[in-house]
Amino acid sequence: MGVVLEVWVAHERDVPGAVDGGADRLHLTAPGERSPEITTVSAVCRDTDLPVFVLLRLSDSWTTTGGELSRLVGLAEDYLAVGASGVSFGFLDADLEIDTEVCSQLAQRLPNVPWTFHRAVDDTLEPRRAWRSLLALAERTSLVNVRSAGSPRGMGDGYDDLLATSESDPAVARLLMPGAGLRAEHVPWLVRTGVRAFHLGPQLRPGGSSKAYVDAALTRSWRLLLDDAMERI
C-alpha cells in the first residue's frame, strides 16, 4: 500500500495540475475553508475520476447547532449527487472537545460515505482525549483520515507534538493525515511511524499563492518525495 496524496482544490482549474502531478484524492473547499457552491463541486467532479471529498462547514466556528446539522446533511447529499465521493468535517463542543454526538449523527445520516475529520482536532484542549474520541468514531463510522498539524498555528509549531502523537499508537498513525505547513523534511519521519496519508495545499501552487492554480510539476515533486519515503522504510 502506498501513501495517499490529498490535494486541496478550490476551482476546476486546479484539477489538471493535481491529476497530472499524481494526486490520489482532491479536497474541495471554498475560500476561507467553507463549503463550496454546488456548481463548483459539479465542475470539479466532471473534470476528474479521482475521489473528491468536499468540506462541510458553514462558518468560521468549529461548533455547530442542531439546525445546521440538517442543512449540512442536505449539502452533502447535493454534493454526492453531482459526483463527490466523500466529505470532510469536524466539530467541537463548548468545552473544546470532539463533538462526538454531532459528528456521529452527521456520519450516520450519510451511511457508508467516507469522510475525513477536519483540522478542528488542533484546537482541542486535550489532544490525547481527542484522539481517543476520533479512534472510537473510526470504529463505528466511515472515517478514513484525520487532518492535523499538531497545532492551530500549523506544523511549524506542531510538528514535534504531531510526530510524538503518531509514534504513540499505530492506530493513530494509520488515521493521521498531516497537513497545514507540511515540509519535505517532515515526510520521512512521519512515514516511518506509519502515516500513510498527507494533505498538501499552498505548497503545490506557484509562490504558495492561493490565487495561483495547482501546478503539476510541484505536485509531481511531492508525489516522488512521498513514494521515495515509502521505498526507504
- What are the strands, taking DSSP E only, across the chain? 4-9, 25-28, 52-55, 86-89, 115-117, 143-148, 176-178, 197-200
3-state secondary structure of 69: helix
| pLDDT string in tens for the chain (233-residue length) | 689 999 999 999 999 999 999 999 999 999 888 999 999 999 999 999 999 999 999 877 787 876 788 899 999 999 999 999 999 999 999 899 999 999 999 999 999 999 999 899 999 999 999 999 999 999 999 999 999 999 999 999 999 999 999 999 999 999 999 999 999 999 999 999 999 999 999 999 999 998 899 999 999 999 999 999 999 88
Residue 210: predicted pLDDT: 86
The CATH number for 72's domain is 3.20.20.380
Cα separation, 163 vs 167, in Å, equals 6
Cα separation, 14 vs 17, in Å, equals 6
Give the range of the structural domain holding residue 163, as residue numbers without chain letter.
4-231
3-state secondary structure of 123: helix
Cα separation, 226 vs 10, in Å, equals 23
Residue 81: predicted pLDDT: 98
Q: Which three cell numbers stand for residue 80?
A: 454526492
For residue 76, what are the contacts with CB-CB under 8 A and spacing of at least 6? 54, 56, 84, 87, 106, 110, 113
Number of domains in the chain: 1
3-state secondary structure of 92: strand
Question: pTM of the full predicted structure?
Answer: 0.95
Residue 1: predicted pLDDT: 66
